[in-house]
Each structure stands twice: as C-alpha cells, then as structure tokens.
Amino acid sequence: RDALISLSLHNTHLKPSLTLDPRWPTEILRENKGRDRRKWPRGKQAGVRNRLRARAHRAPLPSILLANIQSLDNKLDDLRARIKVQMDIRDCNLLCFTKSWLIPALLSHAIQPAEFFSVHRMDRMADSGKSRGGEMCVMVNNSWCSNANVVTLACSCSPNLELLALKFRPFYLPWEFTWGIINTMYIPPQANMDTALTNLKCAVPNLYQHVTFPTMGKRTLDHCYTPYKDSYKALAHPLFSKSDHTAIFLIPKNKQRLKRESLIQREVACWTDQSVAALQDALDDADWDSTDDVSEFTEAVVGFIGKLVDDTIPRTTIKKFPNQKP
C-alpha cells in the first residue's frame, strides 16, 4: 500500500520503463495474464450459420423459415419483432407459412412484416369445399430477389391438398442453376399424409428430406424436400404465439460447384497462321513413297504427322474451372 501511494505521489517523475522492486507486494509483481498476453487463434469462426451470415443474400441456396402458423393475422407482431431483433430472420430469403387463414378482404400490405418483404399468397377459393382454415403465404426478401423476378406458377386449394408454386430468379445464382422453384404444400388432417408422402417418393424418388426432429409433439409433421442430399441443415426455432408447430429455419449447406471441385489444367495446341504455314511446309518437303504393306505405311504416316505437329505447333497450358461453360 505504501509503495502504491508513493508511486501515485511521484507519478510525474516516472520513467518510461519502470524497474520492479522485489520489496513490492506479490500482487504488483505478478505477471500480467490479461487479454494482451493471450495468443488468440487466427482465422474466423466456421459453421454453416456463420457462413450464411457472411453472405446472407448471396448463398448458393436460399435460406428458408418454414412454419405452420395457424392464422397469420394475430401473429404479425411476433413476426415483426423477430425480423427486427433476430438477424437470421431479418436476412432470411424466404418465409413460408402454411395455414395462414387469409381472406381476400385482408390486403397484402396489411400483413407485410417489413418493407423489404414482398407477399405472395394463396387464399381460400370458393370451389375449394372449405368454409374456414387453410391458405398459404410466401414472403420473399427483396434484398435477395426482386418482386419482378418472382412468378406464380400454380395455385390450388382442395379439401385434400393446398399448393402454392413460385418461380424465382434471385440477384445471385450459381452457374449450375438457371432459376429456382419452391412448392409450398399443406395436407389437411382429414387427408392421409403417409399415403401422400409415399406417392410423392414413388413419383419423384430423388428427393431428400431435411427435417429430422419432431415439429409437433413427438411427430415430424413438417417436411422439406430438395433434389440435393445434405443441401440444408434444419434448426428448430420457437413456435409463433399459440401455434402448436415448431418453426423451422433451414440453413443452406450446399456449396457452389466452383468451390466443390478443383480446376483442371491441360495443354492445348495453339493453331496460329504461322504454325499452320510451318506445318504445311514440313508436309510438302516430306517423302511420301509408299511401301507394299499398307498397314505399315499407314502407321508410319500417322506417327510422322504426329511428330511434325508436336515439333511445329506450340502448346500452352490452360485452366478450366468447374463453373466454366463448355
């Protein structure tokens, strides 16, 4: 204590480098083990979530929030709060809601959670045979895809199936894709869901299911299918208000073909006017006297021409990238 007081009284006379006195308390003499002495690892955090946050609107596949919301009108406050507070939901590319219970009298701008989301909906139709329930809604992030590049392909509402199909062309799309299609479907409880999924797998056998955890009680009632294996990682999010289905956040795991495959280097011949003229002169000066054996003559001519090409035509090494057009 006395040493600290003396230092504070004479702090104006301190030298740039302070010599430690062995008589000082051990608390002063101990080595500084704070943040400045740590060796922090270099690089950045890995994982699909961090990779998505780094390029939220430039991912190979869109990020999707899927939820059986059971009336969207009374859950708008919850949705707007998540968009405002949670970065993953704010930067999510597609918000897919089933059982939105929308009616034509409820305008789209009234259910728009934020100004950068465009609303695409399928309301209950008069010939659907339903008096209540159903309907679906898909919200597209305009930072990922413009509203002008979203086209509705199909809308269907029947007692056994509801369908909303959208075709989109986002601002960023890997070379191996030209556009994307998302089909949002809802199978009501009175329909046989197991039979419908069995028929789906029989009709399109190359589909893979990405939701592996229960979404309602102990059952997995919400599914997500894509034609690419291990293309998404599904995470459980809190349910919306009084909805009994867990919200699902789908993080894309798929990488571009440019990053999955390595480039190919190969040698090609440079057929310039000078090299072609030199090869023609060499062929004109050659002696083409044939022998009695046709096979032997053919083999000799082919080998001779190949040697002339190797000696006359220059070669260069080119790089072929996986996403390069043929």
Residue 26, SS3 per DSSP: helix
Radius of gyration of the chain (CA): 34
Q: What is the pLDDT of residue 271?
A: 87
The predicted model scores a pTM of 0.71
Q: What is the pLDDT of residue 65?
A: 95
Structure tokens at 50: 């961090």
pLDDT digit of tens for each residue in the chain (326 aa)? 666 666 555 554 444 455 667 777 666 665 555 544 555 566 666 788 888 988 889 999 999 999 998 888 889 999 999 999 999 999 999 999 998 888 788 888 889 999 999 999 988 776 666 666 668 899 999 999 999 999 999 988 887 888 899 999 999 988 888 899 999 988 887 777 777 777 777 878 888 999 999 999 888 889 999 998 889 999 999 999 888 899 999 999 988 877 777 888 888 888 888 888 888 888 888 777 766 777 888 888 888 888 888 888 888 898 887 777 66
Distance CA 108, CA 281 (A): 76
Structure tokens at 79: 């949705």
Structure tokens at 55: 């390029």
Question: Do residues 100 and 137 lie in contact, with contact meaning Cβ atoms separated by under 8 Å?
Answer: yes
Structure tokens at 192: 């046989």
Residue 121, SS3 per DSSP: strand
Q: What is the pLDDT of residue 12?
A: 47
Question: Do residues 251 and 48 lie in contact, with contact meaning Cβ atoms separated by under 8 Å?
Answer: yes
Distance CA 311, CA 309 (A): 5
Question: Do residues 191 and 205 lie in contact, with contact meaning Cβ atoms separated by under 8 Å?
Answer: no
Question: Do residues 155 and 136 lie in contact, with contact meaning Cβ atoms separated by under 8 Å?
Answer: no
Distance CA 314, CA 73 (A): 71
Q: Dihedral through CA 259, CA 264, CA 269, CA 270, nearest 10?
A: 20
Domains of the chain: 2-37 (no CATH), 49-256 (3.60.10.10), 261-320 (no CATH)
Distance CA 174, CA 256 (A): 6
Question: Do residues 240 and 78 lie in contact, with contact meaning Cβ atoms separated by under 8 Å?
Answer: yes
Question: Do residues 98 and 104 lie in contact, with contact meaning Cβ atoms separated by under 8 Å?
Answer: no
